[in-house]
């Protein structure tokens, strides 16, 4: 199950991603927003991030105008490693190196074609499991636990 959420700036791209996920047979849970009325991105990013952190959803996709605000929010939630990606190289690397569990996208930054490629690579690339990457992720958890 993939958590997906957006704000008013990204409803159109979210719908394209949902259509794409459905065509691939990937189930998702939509945490809103649903329309073009101006909303506050922290509310939607937080709901989706909590679902991922709780294990209700295995990964999440957040979309706002830039992707920046939602990625900042998600990374405040314990256990979330959210990567803002605007290219396919970063999408692959953040799964292999950071075991990122959430992807943030900027609907005002990316065209739909590139956004869908980034989504596919993010969802399809496994974590490398290499010792050095596990060690670094474990250090992130330690920082989180000390704050």
- Residue corresponding to tokens 């009325």: 37
Does residue 85 carry a catalytic annotation?
A: no
Number of residues counted as binding ligand RB5 (CB under 6 A):
8
66 binds ligand RB5 (CB under 6 A): yes
- At a CB cut-off of 8 Å and minimum separation 6, what does 13 contact? 6, 63, 105, 107, 110, 112, 115
Does residue 82 carry a catalytic annotation?
A: no
Query: Stretches 21-29, 63-71, 122-130, 134-142: which one binds ligand RB5 (CB under 6 A)?
Result: 63-71
Query: Stretches 54-62, 66-74, 81-89, 90-98: which one binds ligand RB5 (CB under 6 A)?
Result: 66-74
Q: Which CB sits closer to ligand RB5, 60 or 69? A: 69
User: How near is the Cβ of 69 to ligand RB5 at its closest, in Å?
Assistant: 3
Nearest C-alpha neighbor of 105 from the set 147, 145, 136, 68: 68
41 binds ligand RB5 (CB under 6 A): yes
Query: Stretches 16-24, 26-34, 61-69, 112-120: which one binds ligand RB5 (CB under 6 A)?
Result: 61-69
Cα dist from 66 to 13, 51, 133, whole Å: 12, 22, 28
- For residue 6, the Cα-to-chain-centroid distance in whole angstroms is 10
- At a CB cut-off of 8 Å and minimum separation 6, what does 45 contact? 5, 62, 64, 69, 70, 71, 73, 74
Q: Which CB sits closer to ligand RB5, 68 or 114? A: 68
Q: Which of 1, 18, 47, 68 binds ligand RB5 (CB under 6 A)?
A: 68
Site of interaction with ligand RB5 (CB under 6 A):
7, 9, 41, 64-66, 68-69
């Amino acid at each position: 199950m993939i958590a997906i959420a957006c704000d008013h700036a990204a409803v159109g791209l979210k719908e394209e991603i949902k259509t794409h996920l459905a065509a691939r047979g990937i189930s998702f849970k939509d945490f809103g927003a649903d329309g073009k009325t101006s909303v506050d991105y922290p509310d939607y990013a937080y709901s989706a991030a909590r679902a991922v952190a709780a294990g209700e959803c295995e990964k999440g996709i957040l979309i706002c105008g830039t992707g920046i605000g939602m990625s900042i929010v998600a990374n405040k939630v314990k256990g979330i490693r959210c990567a803002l990606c605007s290219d396919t190289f970063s999408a692959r690397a953040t799964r292999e190196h950071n075991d990122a569990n959430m992807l943030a996208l900027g609907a005002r930054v990316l065209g739909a074609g590139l956004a869908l490629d980034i989504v596919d690579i993010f969802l399809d690339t496994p974590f490398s499991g290499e010792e050095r990457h596990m060690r670094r992720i474990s250090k992130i958890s330690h920082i989180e636990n000390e704050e």
